[in-house]
Amino acid sequence: MEEITDIRTLNERISEESEIVTLLTRGMEETIIGQKHLTESLLIGLLADGHVLLEGVPGLAKTLAIKTLSSLIEAKFSRIQFTPDLLPADVTGTLIYSPRDENFKVKNGPIFANFVLADEINRAPAKVQSALLEAMQEKQVTLGDDSFPLPSPFMVLATQNPIEQEGTYVLPEAQTDRFMLKVVIGYPTPEEEKKIVRAHIDGSFGKVTPVTDLAHLSKAREWVKKVYVDERITQYITDLVWATRAPENYGLAELKPYISVGASPRAGISLAVAGRALAFIRRRGYVVPEDIRSLAEDVLRHRISLTYEAEADEVKTDTIIHEVLNKIAVP
């Protein structure tokens, strides 16, 4: 791919190449009414090669949105319903002995897909989460003595219900940290809900037809990597992350008793990479502070551990993130 050093030329090329975003957004609107933030977050994960964790009550089109996106790209889609009795082999696959050949054959599990929907991910036990963690981080699966690469692109799009906690397991911190974004999905507006009900009554939802393919997606991802990130943006990201670890150094000493563990280094990386994807979606060849501020909640909320004092005072991670954003000077 050509090297572009002039920011104006880069901006023009990014504007041209980001047409894929328009096609995907229009395609999503055929079946998803409202939920703009959900659609944008899935596109960010798609373009930035990151996993996305969706949290919301049932019926908010989380599963439908993920399935629609995979259909628009003609990608292989797989859904795994996580339950307490799920086994690692149910996710990764297993080795099956063949008496005829006198050896073991690999039977791939549903993890071997481009888009893997992990529905109610917090219902599966630790062994399953461990198997999934390898796939998310290493983009491979180990069966027996051999490791098998997963298809490219590979994205885990997980959902969890924040209300019903019976029969659920808290996700390990190491696994939660692997999700680039944790997106909290809210209810549609009354007007949007009216349109949803009407569309179901009339049967007027459009049919999902592919608008692009994996080759075009791969090309778009390469352009995302070319989006310019200024040194001042890098410093801003670093300050935001460090303010969650040592808030007293940034004039936020009142937050210190509420934070047990601050954001990990992956938080800064995710802010930068997701910021590039968001700039691409907004047809820009460079990242601006507003991109980082727009992403801060989704990138940081699952990477900050709170103390018992925070729980007692009903202080949420989003509250801490808002305080940090309001305090750190914007470049």
Same domain, 211 and 240: no
How far apart CA 313 and CA 57 sit, in angstroms, is 25
Same domain, 201 and 239: no
Same domain, 128 and 145: yes
What is the domain extent for residue 284?
227-327
SS3 208: coil
Kindly state whether residue 5 falls inside one of the protein's structural domains.
no
Last residue of a domain, one of 177, 194, 221: 221
Same domain, 203 and 59: yes
SS3 130: helix
Find, among 228, 327, 233, the residue nearest to 285 by Cα.
Answer: 228
For the entire predicted model, the pTM comes to 0.90
Q: Where are the alpha helices (DSSP H) in 282-313?
A: 289-300, 308-312
Same domain, 194 and 297: no
* Tokens representing residue 301 in the block: 């909320």
Last residue of a domain, one of 221, 236, 266: 221
**Which residues partner with 115 through β-bridges?**
77, 155
Same domain, 266 and 150: no
Same domain, 72 and 128: yes
pLDDT digits (tens, 9 = 90+) for 149-188: 999 889 999 988 777 666 567 787 888 899 999 999 888 8
Neighbouring CB atoms inside 10 A of 129's CB total 22
How far apart CA 159 and CA 157 sit, in angstroms, is 7
Kindly state whether residue 233 falls inside one of the protein's structural domains.
yes
pLDDT digits (tens, 9 = 90+) for 217-269: 999 999 999 999 999 999 999 999 999 999 999 999 999 999 999 999 999 99
Same domain, 148 and 213: yes
